[in-house]
Amino acid sequence: MKYLIVAGARPNFMKVAPILGAFSKVEGPDVKLIHTGQHYDRAMSDSFFEDLGIPEPDIHLGAGSGSHAEQTARIMMGFEQVCLQEHPDWVVVVGDVNSTLACSVTAKKLGVRVAHVEAGLRSRDMSMPEEINRLCTDAISDLLFTTDEIANENLRTEGVCSDRIDFVGNTMIDTLLRHLERARSFPLPDGLEQGHYGVLTLHRPSNVDTPETLRPLMNVIQEIAESIPVVFPVHPRTRKNLETFGLLDSAAVGCGIRLVEPMGYLRFIGLVSHARFVLTDSGGIQEETTVMGVPCLTLRHNTERPITCSMGTNYLVGTDPAQIRATAQAVLAGEMRAGAVPPKWDGKASVRIVDRLVGLR
């Protein structure tokens, strides 16, 4: 049997790494890694391959950036050729980025079976491109590997029959548990002390694409940073917008926000593991902080990962400065819950996935 594993953007790499690792322990399957090239900067892509020991992609599509339609179309055209040459039995896609959608649709139209890892997540927010990608990918995938019981329920509500749903756990957490000890031993950036700083990440278009949203967010975070330093690894999209809106200098100078380049996986996880709190609009970081027991203030009005709020350490604070300020003050006063790790987030999701794909269970 031949399997094509697809990765395209930063949050995909930690999800495919353990799946490739689990495949390498099984004799027989022919497995190829396809990098779509959605992310291409060293800091957004190559450094993750190095940190996670992912082998060089067998095929690189070099799709690059563009509008959603341009990017998705370029990935589809490249991936169609790959499928026609390789004749895979399965295409495995992960997460919810444009590469996930492009490759699942392309494979399915060629009659290739599709497995979606991290299926069933729903934010119910159709202004998020990722929600559209999730809905479309899940609707056509043959096998839906889920991370939690809420995702199973979402899929059942949409009429998916239960033999397509396989609750396996969380591959991103497989990677976290495998690398956490090493990541925690990485030195912190100069001048930071364990437990005495916050970490900020921001890249959602809804937060960073207009000055009306980005300015008040940066202002309230600057206020927080007057009490405790806040390290801010800046995504390329966000850096460009901070520059365009004239916010780069005020974000960087004269306050406790420390802008740094996007970090590799191990340094970033090490940084988060020792942080007092995290402010983010990322999806995956909500899950990683729950497992590390670090309070996470999510700068969004909804989440596709509600189990991190009901069981873990995640708080949906939205974008209202008063709410963000009040929650940050509560965290600094030590008033937050400890949280628990959701079922099957145990480091074995990828083995369950591969066992199912190769017919061992």
Contacts of residue 205, defined as CB under 8 A and 6 or more positions apart, other chains included, come to: 129, 237
Specify the residue, 74 or 344, whose C-beta has the smaller distance to ligand UD1.
Answer: 74
Longest dimension (CA), the chain: 59
- Are the C-beta atoms of 28 and 1 separated by less than 8 Å? yes
From residue 227, alpha-carbon distances to 188, 194, 333 in Å are 19, 15, 12
Specify the residue, 123 or 273, whose C-beta has the smaller distance to ligand UD1.
Answer: 123
3-state secondary structure of 109: helix
The least distance separating ligand UD1 from the CB of residue 147, rounded to whole angstroms, comes to 16
The least distance separating ligand UD1 from the CB of residue 295, rounded to whole angstroms, comes to 21
Specify the residue, 65 or 213, whose C-beta has the smaller distance to ligand UD1.
Answer: 65
Q: Which of the residues 39, 203, 235, 274 is marked catalytic?
A: 203
Assess whether 203 carries a catalytic annotation: yes
The least distance separating ligand UD1 from the CB of residue 128, rounded to whole angstroms, comes to 8
* Of the candidates 21, 14, 85, 92, the residue with the CA atom closest to the CA atom of residue 47: 14
Strand partners, 32: 4
Specify the residue, 39 or 179, whose C-beta has the smaller distance to ligand UD1.
Answer: 39
End-to-end CA, the chain: 16
Q: Which two three-digit tokens encode residue 183?
A: 């990541």
The least distance separating ligand UD1 from the CB of residue 355, rounded to whole angstroms, comes to 28
Q: Which residues bind ligand UD1 (CB under 6 A)?
A: 9-11, 38-41, 44, 65, 97-98, 129-130, 203, 235-237
**What span, in angstroms and rounded, lies between the C-alpha atoms of 361 and 349?**
13
Catalytic machinery residues: 203
